[in-house]
Every structure is written in structure tokens, then in C-alpha cells.
Amino acid sequence: MKVLVTGASRGIGRAIALAFGARGAGVALAVREPSGPAVLELLASIPGARAVPVDLSDSAQTQTLIERAREALGGLDVLVNCAGIVHYEALADLSPESLLQQLTANFVAPTFIARDAALHMQAHGGGAIVNVASTLGVRPAPLTAAYAASKAALISMTRSLALEFGAAGVRVNAVAPGIIDTDMIRAERPNTAGAAALSVEEQLAGLRKLHVLGRLGTAEEIAQSVLYLVDAQFVTGTVLIADGGLLL
């Protein structure tokens, strides 16, 4: 199995790359800095893994990603669109630049990468695509309006791709994680109106309580969900909620 993972330098994408590597898959890591220490360490941990450089904010790089990954891997069976960004900000403070940055990284770039992968898979007997969305794409929360909209759009695009490429044996699904303990959730957030300032640890304690399971998820648990969606041969166009009961 030949697998491309975006956002593989750290967090959830890194765990997904390691999970496929543990299965003996050929893994290409789509990363901004292929010679950064974290990527070099990951390359050393996954036999035969390759790094393919990409900055999702640069459409020229995004447009050639699938072609470069196919060359690096000698084919492509699975794409996991995991890279993403969030800016914690009130809608009142949202700038056009911030909205466009989040839409580009979380929706526009993954859409064209998935489209190009689906076209390749269509011509080569099928494949599987998993987009990493978010529960915020299903139900919004304060300070993440642009991010939530970008993930809702990604979920809609997941379904459209599944519809248009299913007959060719290309399955397209999304996973919607709850709050996962990575760098992404440790960024400082502005206060909601009238609220006292919270430390990052206080924020995390509050976030844990939002989950029925009483804890945050781990990157490895989201990797399990991705592997399930790649394995489940009769599942397409679905959104797997992996949220420890957050939406409940």
C-alpha cells in the first residue's frame, strides 16, 4: 500500500504516518520542511519513507503534490489530508487575510490534492482518501468561526468526491476528531467577552470536561480511525465522529 500523508511533521499527521509505517506501507510525508529535525527523525522511524515538500499556502506546490508523491512512491493507493491550521479569534476580529489563510489550508488545498489523487486512483483501479475534518465542521464553537466553516466545507467536499469517484472504486471519507492533545490546542486564545484570562493548563482542564469520556483524545486514536476508514471497503462518503462524546 502506498500512502501520502499531509501534515506529517507532527501531531495527528505524524501518528497517522507511523501507523501506516507499522503496517509496512510505503509512506510519503508531505511536509513544509523536509530536512527539519522532526521530519528526519520520522523518516528514520519508517522504513522506506520519503519526504515530499509542500506548503499548502502556495497553489503551485499544491498542484504538483500528487504527481511528485506518485513519483516518490511509485504509485498512490491512499491519501490522508491531515495538514490544517486554526486561528483562535472572535468573529468580530476576523480579517479577510485570516479567513483566506484558513480556507486555503483547510479546504482549498486539500480539495485539489484530493481531486488530483482521485483522478490518479480512478485511472489505476481505485483507492481511498481520508480528510481530517473536525467536530467544529459539524457544530461550531466560539472563537473558531473561520476554522469551523473551512471544516464544514471540507466535509461537504468529501461527500461530493465520494459521489463522483465511487463508481471508479475510489472511496472518500472524513474523520471528525474532538479535541486532541497536540500543539494545535495549546495556542493561547483570546478571552470571550467578560471572561477572566485562563492559562493554557486551565483551558485544557475546561476542554477535557467537554468530553463524555472526561479526557482529550490522542493523535494515535485518530490514526486508528483513519486506518478503519481505509480498511472498511463498503464505507464511503461518511464522516466518522471520533470525539470521546464531545458532540453528545
For residue 173, give every residue at least 6 positions away whose Cβ sits within 8 Å of its Cβ, in sequence order, or none. Answer: 128, 129, 130, 131, 158, 162, 229, 235, 236, 237, 238, 239, 240
- Should residue 179 be labelled a site residue for ligand NAP when binding is judged by CB under 6 A? yes
Sites for ligand NAP among residues 201-240 (CB under 6 A) = none
- Should residue 127 be labelled a site residue for ligand NAP when binding is judged by CB under 6 A? no
Quote the crossing angle between the two packed helices 145-165 and 109-123, to the nearest 10°: 10
Please report how many Cα atoms fall inside a 13 Å half-sphere around the Cα of residue 163, on the Cβ side.
6
Catalytic residue selected from 20, 107, 147, 165: 147
- Should residue 182 be labelled a site residue for ligand NAP when binding is judged by CB under 6 A? yes
Is residue 147 among the annotated active site residues? yes
Q: Single out the segment in contact with ligand NAP by CB under 6 A; choices: 49-57, 71-79, 162-170, 233-241.
A: 49-57
- Should residue 84 be labelled a site residue for ligand NAP when binding is judged by CB under 6 A? yes
Question: Please, what is the minimum distance in Å from the beta carbon of residue 195 to ligand NAP?
Answer: 20
**Cβ proximity to ligand NAP, 24 vs 100, nearer residue:** 100
Q: What is the CA radius of gyration of the chain?
A: 18
- Should residue 12 be labelled a site residue for ligand NAP when binding is judged by CB under 6 A? yes
Q: Which residues bind ligand NAP (CB under 6 A)?
A: 7, 9-13, 32-33, 54-57, 82-85, 105, 132, 134, 177, 179-180, 182-185
- Positions marked catalytic: 147
